[in-house]
Amino acid sequence: MNKKIRMFMFLIFLVSVIFVSGCVSDSDGDGYADDKDAFPEDDRYHSDYDRDGYADEIDEYPTEYYYHIKCSNCGGDGIVTKLTTKTVRFNIDAASMENTGFFNPNYFFYITVTNIDSHEGTFDVIGYAEDNGVKMWEDSKGFFIGSGETHQFILNYDADEEMDSFDYDVIAPTYVQKEEVTCPKCGGTGKR
| In a shared domain, residues 94 and 167 | yes
What residues contact residue 40 under an 8 Å CB cut-off, 6+ apart?
25, 26, 27, 28, 34
pLDDT of residue 29 exceeding 90, the answer is no
Nearest-5° angle of CA 59, CA 64, CA 65? Answer: 85
User: Tell me, what's the pLDDT at 73?
Assistant: 45
Q: How far apart are CA 145 and CA 116, in angstroms?
A: 10
Which stretches of 105-159 are assigned E, i.e. beta strand? 106-115, 121-131, 134-145, 150-158
Domain hosting 22: range is 1-46
- Whether 111 is covered by a domain: the verdict is yes
| In a shared domain, residues 95 and 166 | yes
Identify which of 52, 69, 53, 78 has the alpha carbon closest to the alpha carbon of residue 186: 78
Amino acid at 137: W
pLDDT tens-place string over residues 5-27: 777 777 776 666 555 555 678 88
Domain count, the chain: 2
- Whether 187 is covered by a domain: the verdict is no
**Are the CB atoms for 105 and 156 separated by under 8 Å?**
no
- Whether 141 is covered by a domain: the verdict is yes
Of 25-34, 73-82, 170-179, the least confident: 73-82
